[in-house]
Amino acid sequence: MSSTTIDPGSAYSTAEDILRNLSLVRDEISVAAAKIDEQQVARLAAYLGETGRSSGRVFAAGAGRSGLVLRMAAMRLMHLGLSVHVAGDTTTPAITSGDLLLVASGSGTTSGVVKSAETAAKAGARIAAFTTNPSSPLAGLADALVIIPAAQKTDHGTSVSSQYAGSLFEQALFVVTEAIFQSLWDKDPQPAEELWLRHANLE
């Protein structure tokens, strides 16, 4: 068996490659975040706050990587003391009037997410949505809508982002949900130590 020598410079990413792409990702997130309408985000945050104050429940529903970001957001809202459920979990109850559905889909057409929003609307729940597409079915169902200026995952070769698929949407979604949590906490007297008492202790 013959052995071959691999040139690390050609087969693997160099430090320069990593630095260039760290800058790429950071700069794209910064540009996208700066273009998000803060009034839209404030309205969505107000819906979350109102739901918590009225003892309503928050449900999160998303597919793929967007769904994973919403799971992280659900954890933070739980830390604040809101009653939060993730769609698809075996213990998730039925959504009803007085509840809020938090959903995300870059295209706004993801079938399972749109179906969840339609179900929530029929049940009398309010819908808070994140998408790139203001004319999408999901946007049309939303009571509170945040438009994230990022490429959809099938927009290959777009000038909006050099990253693969829907990466920028998912990254910006994480940033904006973290900003929402931080803003809600700013208005909450609970110290970090009290929030931490709610953190999972069965891991």
User: Domain for residue 168, yes or no?
Assistant: yes
Cα–Cα distance, 70 to 56 (Å, whole number): 18
User: Domain for residue 75, yes or no?
Assistant: yes
User: Domain for residue 169, yes or no?
Assistant: yes
Residue 2: predicted pLDDT? 52
| Chain mean pLDDT for the chain | 92
User: Domain for residue 143, yes or no?
Assistant: yes
Range of the domain at 115: 56-188
What's the N-to-C CA distance of the chain in angstroms?
Answer: 47
User: Domain for residue 89, yes or no?
Assistant: yes
Q: What is the mean pLDDT of residues 79-84?
A: 97
User: Domain for residue 47, yes or no?
Assistant: no
The answer to whether residue 170 is catalytic is: yes
User: Domain for residue 49, yes or no?
Assistant: no
Residue 165: predicted pLDDT? 81
Residue 153: predicted pLDDT? 63
Q: What residues are paired with 57 via a beta bridge?
A: 83
Residue 66: predicted pLDDT? 96
Residue 7: predicted pLDDT? 60
User: Domain for residue 128, yes or no?
Assistant: yes
Q: In which band, very low, low, confident or very high, does the pLDDT at 50 lie, cut at 50, 70 and 90?
A: very high
Closest C-alpha to 46, from 189, 180, 201: 180
Q: Using a cut of 0.75, tell me whether the model's pTM lies above it.
A: yes
Report the CATH number at residue 173. 3.40.50.10490
Q: What is the mean pLDDT of residues 7-24?
A: 83
Say how many domains are in the chain. Answer: 1
Please pick, among 16, 28, 118, 170, the residue that the annotation labels catalytic. Answer: 170
Q: How many Å is the Cα radius of gyration of the chain?
A: 19
Is residue 60 within 8 A of residue 87, CB to CB? The reply is yes
Strands in 35-194 per DSSP E:
57-62, 83-86, 100-104, 126-131, 144-147
For residue 154, give the amino acid letter: T
